[in-house]
A and B are shown apart, each in its own frame.
Chain A
Amino acid sequence: MPETAQMSVIGKAQPRVDGPLKVSGGAMYASDFHFPGMLYAVPVEAAIASGKVTKLDTGAAEKLPGVRAIFHRENIGKIFRSVQGQGFEGIIDERRPPFEDDIIRYWGQYIALAVADTFESAKAAADAVRATYEKDKHNVETDLKADDEPDEVATTFAPTKRLQSERGKAENAFASAPVKFDQTYVTPTHTHNPIELQAATAIWEGSMLTIYEESQGVFNLRSVLAQMFGLPKENVRVITKFVGSGFGSKLWPWTHCALAVAAARQLGKPVKLVLSRKMMFQTAGHRPRTQQRVRLGATKEGKLVSLQHDYVNHQAILDNYHEDCDEATAFHYSVPNLRVHFGRARRNVGSPTPMRGPGAVPGLYATESAMNELADQLNIDPVRLRVLNEPKINEALGIPFSSRHLLECFKVGAEKFGWSKRNPKVGSMKSGGLTVGWGMAGCTWVAARFPAEASVQLRDDGTVRVASGTQDIGTGTYTILAQLAAEKTGIPLDKVEVALGDTSLPEGPISGGSMVTGSMVPAVYKAADQAIESLFTIATTTPGSPFEKRKATDLALEGGRVFVKADGSGKGVPFADLLRRANVRLVTGSGKSEGSFGNPKPKFSTQSFGCHFVEVTWQPEIARLRVSRVVSVIDAGRILNPLAGRNQIEGAVVMGIGMALLEHTSYDPQNGAPINSNLADYMMAVNADVPPIDVHFLDFPDKQINELGARGIGEIGLAGVAAAITAATHHATGVRVRELPITIEDLLTSSVLS
């Protein structure tokens, strides 16, 4: 159990401190900001997927009432390229600035921008722009064969070896293995569908640029825009007060953002640009399609002797996105011979980008499905097979895990689910007149810290302000930071003000990788310690202060009151009184913590772990399959806010149900367009699809990450869900689906007919 006092707000279920603002409409999202004289911009989308624009007729559009300008390559002005710098600087997936040339490389690519007094006028003008094209043959083929690329390839980040990991002799060991398994798994393109559309509002004041954008990384966006518009960083301010979810689509900037900034520059007025849902499918990222071959060699008893994972993801024509499906492959199981290799295939699509659990989610779908199939092949319980192959250390790096409790996850999950009652025979289990199927899978996700800075202020009205230029993307960061500050100062949560999402604040981490909480803990704690130290200095140096004769080191702060340690907390004085007596409005502490992400020589392998047990019901008379029960057990270190934590896992499981049964973006072979680009045709799970989800946290603090032992929980919940559902589906129906999603078409082939 945590060693902190009973009064601690850490580890307690705290409702969102920003909840009232959100439900009352008071929370300001990027598209909620309005400014005098503001104009509205609507992009014109290419209606081919490959070729070039030969003529752009803007005459009719320009004549429409309220239209201020139609921008295109000739008149948008200079937009430079952004180059990646140190850390999270200058990162962008689609590196070509908008309108840089007349070549069209994907359907929906922006070719012009209409700006008008109202949104309606701008939309009408955008629709009235006539483009003439020279069409080339596009390629949106779904079968992915790796393009001819060198052994080391460029990615959005650093160059990467296509041979991702190797030990032993995987091929030979596979060839001589007593039991062989060899299958290919496919995950389709998935489009992020946060309910808040991407939006940018840009305002220039001289050479100073302010932009309101729903960013998952305001500092990276600042550096990208500074580069694209040739400005010193300090001339750019990015503000993101609230984000209506991002799932990765808002991590790196998209081309609309530069368009809004350029239009505002050209017109000398604030410009707002909000994407349509259709544009979200075309120009704002997606999880790429993956095709993954998994080969397993094992003994008859189920010990792995060889693991090979070869995968291909699609990427855009110009950019270099790598979906690292092997995120977990090399360390998740104990296996002496392993080889992981990837390739990519260029397609006429907008650039892929990270989506919740990038790499690990499609990757673990494949490898965990393979383990489930191997278990069936060996007639071994799938939990047992995993226990047999549990590694003692991270065999890929030869270092210990900081804290790995996957076996406890299986144990707790199996007990809560009632797994021991499972009859492995297909179609054999019935409940309430339906056939039921049970399946399970494990999951893991990397844990690390990004560099983080924060400030904490103690104020003479008894309130505390904690600030960092990170973001709350709906996960509860406002609440967590309030909890951290409340914990250190002992004042109630409602007296803590939290400031986030602004590049004028201390530099905070991107809201990505499930790493904000873990990164912020040491920074906020250091800042709070420093502020408290200043407070004690004031308390011991202000004439007339009750602590005037004391040394700062004699004092302590608890429950918002300062006291002499030796006297106990009974005689404390509210810190606000001490500040007022000294005529000090506030004392400020600054905290900075180093990152551990990307450390080339780590001493420990830091990951979170977990598992999902899933039940589906099968009604063959109407070919209806539904997920009826989910138990998820997560080992993510110490959970700082179980309410927000459970919410993260539940949301991820819902997404996993969508991944297994519904979600896919289809590119029309005839024209190359993502054809189901709306929320009716791109199906996600709705409330009626969501069964009871039982989430359990193991709560083993991991002190390698931070002093509270908290790892991240944003992404891990999605990993493994689809593999558990496909296994449960096979158990119920006998239908083995290796290309997601599972469809009614697949299920109609079931021979389990009652």
Chain B
Amino acid sequence: MKTFQLTRASDSAQAIASAAKATTAQQGAEIRFIGGGTTLIDLMKLNVEQPQSLIDITRLPLDKIDALPDGGLTIGAVVRNADLAYHPLVRKNYAVLSEAILSGATAQLRNMATTAGNLLQRTRCMYFRETNMPCNKREPGTGCAAITGANRGLAILGTSEHCIATNPSDMNVAMAALEATIHVRGPKGERSIPIADFHVLPGNTPQRETVLEPGDLITHVTLPPPASGSRSLYLKLRDRASYEFALASAAVVVTVANGKVTRARIALGGVGTKPWRSTEAEGELTGQAATEAVFRKVAEAALRGAKPQSENGFKVELAKRCLVHALKLATQTA
């Protein structure tokens, strides 16, 4: 870990102005906002991130969860994951989000981690975390050791020849299925970004993970009102029962009327380089009967573009089973 300067932001404008001096808001940023620190401090200890300056934003008034007039929800950037997961409105209207958060990490980490921080969670690729090994995400142009190495946990969707790192977040997968909007205030003012557009594919710039620019501060996230009559859930599959990133997960929000699915939102975790919304799967499901045969077709559609690596071919079948089972549970009559 390199020495760094820590300042505590007292207002957003000042924080944004300070952070705007960085040359990038992506890998290697010289100035970073810090929330719970559960990813950033870890990476700083490993010298993967070496910011000169950290701006603590946890004292900014961005820690509220409020109902919106339209029936939706607004979630402050520094709301702790645990507070979000246990919020009564979240449990009532957005079960998938609560379940996703509670399936991740540990109670201690969830007490620290923040909403914005979770959106910016970094990959667990082992080569990204080891500075003595090549990694295009950490050090562009050095190559990808994961493609030729230990890639069991890595992505099969959205990969490139330069990077196959998985987005490890559970929360993001639920947010994708809920069609969350991310609200950012930056040097040029405010903007709203649909979560589908917030994370970017690695392509030939895997060091770039989001559309954020220097000085961009996530202020809050909004969720649209819950679709009427919908049920949602998150199913996470992994080697052990707790404290492990997903090998495959599924966030589903479905509405069934008269035995047919009238609306579906589907996102997969543990398999994509970004939280993996599958409109192909949604298209396959909408208007169809809620049967296992249909779900299997939906899963085929979701994984159609999968590119397995040397060690993670099993994820294709595992993700399919995960999605089929999640849809089965979400459409079961009580």
Name A's B-contacting residues (CB within 8 A). 47, 120, 123-124, 127, 621-624, 626, 661-662, 666, 668-671, 673, 675-676, 680-681, 683, 685-689, 743-745, 748
Q: Are B237 and A675 in contact (CB under 8 A)?
A: no
Question: Which residue of chain B has its CB nearest to the CB of A45?
Answer: B132
Contact A670 B240 (CB under 8 A): no
Evaluate contact between A669 and B239: CB separation under 8 angstroms: no
User: Which chain B positions have C-beta within 8 A of A676?
Assistant: 126, 150
A748 and B314 within 8 A (CB):
yes
Top 8 nearest A-B pairs (CB, nearest first) are A688-B241, A688-B242, A47-B132, A745-B314, A689-B241, A621-B325, A622-B325, A686-B242
Look across to chain A and name the residue whose beta carbon is closest to the beta carbon of B326: A622
Please tell me if the beta carbons of A681 and B126 are within 8 angstroms of each other in the complex. Answer: yes
Q: Cβ of B317 and Cβ of A748 under 8 Å apart?
A: yes
- A745–B133 Cα gap in the complex (Å)? 27
The interface residues of chain B, by DSSP majority, are classed as loop
* A675 touching B150, Cβ below 8 Å: yes
Are A743 and B239 in contact, with the CB atoms below 8 A?
yes
Q: Is the CB of B1 within 8 A of A123?
A: yes
Contact B241 A626 (CB under 8 A): yes
Interface contacts (Cβ under 8 Å), in number, total: 81
CB–CB A670/B126 < 8 A: no
Kindly list chain A residues whose C-beta atoms are within 8 Å of the C-beta of B317: 623, 748
Residues of chain A lying within 8 A (CB to CB) of residue B318 = 623, 744, 748
Interface residues in B233-277 (C-beta closer than 8 Å to A): 235, 237, 239-245, 247
Which chain B residues numbered 139 to 178 have a C-beta less than 8 Å away from chain A? Answer: 145, 148-150
- CB pair B242 A687 closer than 8 Å: yes
Considering the complex, give the chain A residue whose CB is closest to the CB of B3.
A124
- Measured between beta carbons, the chain A residues less than 8 angstroms from B47 are 127
**Chain A residue at smallest Cβ distance from B105:** A680
The answer for the CA separation of A394 and B243 in the assembled complex, in Å, is 45
| Beta-carbon nearest neighbor of B245 in chain A | A680
Apart from A683-B239, A683-B240, A688-B241, what are 13 other A-B pairs with CB-CB below 8 Å? A124-B3, A624-B237, A662-B239, A670-B133, A670-B148, A670-B149, A671-B133, A673-B130, A675-B126, A680-B245, A686-B241, A686-B243, A744-B239
**9 A-B residue pairs with CB within 8 Å:** A621-B325, A624-B237, A671-B133, A675-B130, A675-B149, A680-B124, A680-B243, A686-B241, A745-B314
User: What is the CB-to-nearest-CB distance from A382 to chain B, in angstroms, rounded to a whole number?
Assistant: 27
Interface: B85 (CB within 8 A):
no
Tell me which residues across on chain B come within 8 A of A662, comparing CB atoms. 239-240
Find chain A residues with CB under 8 A from B240 CB.
661-662, 683, 685-686, 688-689
B40 within 8 A of A: no
- State whether the Cβ of B322 lies closer than 8 Å to any Cβ in chain A: yes
Contact B124 A661 (CB under 8 A): no
Could you give, for residues 287-331 of chain B, a 1 whenever the CB lies within 8 Å of some chain A CB and a 0 otherwise?
Answer: 000000000000000000000000000100110011011001000
Bound CA span A680–B318, Å: 21
CB closest chain-A residue, reference B292: A621
Q: Count the B residues whose beta carbon is within 8 Å of the partner chain — how many?
A: 31
B1-21 CB contact bits vs A (8 Å, 1 = yes)? 111000000000000000000
Residues of chain B touching chain A, judged by Cβ–Cβ distance below 8 Å, are 1-3, 47, 124, 126, 130, 132-133, 145, 148-150, 235, 237, 239-245, 247, 314, 317-318, 321-322, 324-325, 328
Distance (whole angstroms) from the CB of B30 to the closest CB of chain A: 18
**List of A residues within 8 angstroms of B126 by Cβ:** 675-676, 681
If over half of A's interface residues share one DSSP class (helix, strand or loop), that class is named, otherwise mixed; here it is loop
Most chain A CB neighbours (cut-off 10 Å) among B124, B237, B321 = B321
**B residues in contact with A748, CB < 8 Å:** 314, 317-318
Complex alpha-carbon distance, A623 and B132, angstroms: 36
CB-CB < 8 A to B241: which residues of A? 626, 686, 688-689
Say whether B150 contacts A622, CB under 8 Å: no
CB pair A622–B237 under 8 Å, yes or no, is yes
With beta carbons under 8 angstroms apart, the residue of A123, A666, A745 that contacts B150 is A666
B225 CB to nearest A CB, Å: 31
- In the assembled complex, the Cα of A626 lies from the Cα of B322 at a distance in Å of 17
Residues from chain A with a CB closer than 8 A to the CB of B324 are: 621
In the complex, which residues of chain B have a beta carbon less than 8 angstroms from the beta carbon of A681?
Answer: 124, 126
Contact A744 B148 (CB under 8 A): no
Q: Which residues of A contact B328 (CB under 8 A)?
A: 621
**CA A668 – CA B239 in complex, angstroms?**
20
Q: List chain A residues, Cβ under 8 A from B130.
A: 673, 675
- Bound CA span A358–B247, Å: 32
Q: Across the two chains, which residue of chain A brings its CB closest to B132?
A: A47
Minimum distance in angstroms from B222 CB to a CB of chain A: 32
Q: A670-B148, A745-B314 are in contact. Are A622 and B3 (CB under 8 A)?
A: no
By a CB distance below 8 angstroms, the chain A residues around B145 are 668, 670-671
Instruction: A669 to B311: give the CA distance in the assembly, Å.
Output: 13
Q: How far is the CB of A36 from chain B (nearest CB, A)?
A: 25
A621 contacts which chain B residues (CB < 8 A)? 321, 324-325, 328
B244 with A683: CB separation less than 8 A: yes
C-alpha gap A134/B241 in the complex (Å) = 44
Complex contacts, A622 vs chain B, CB 8 Å = 235, 237, 321-322, 325
A671 to B132, CA, bound (A): 10
Chain B residues with Cβ below 8 Å from A670 are 133, 145, 148-149
Please tell me if the beta carbons of A623 and B237 are within 8 angstroms of each other in the complex: yes
With a cutoff of 8 Å between Cβ atoms, the chain B residues found around residue A123 in the complex are: 1
A667 and chain B: residue at smallest CB distance: B150
C-alpha spacing A676/B322, complex, angstroms: 26
How many angstroms between the C-alpha atoms of A741 and B41 in the bound complex?
A: 32
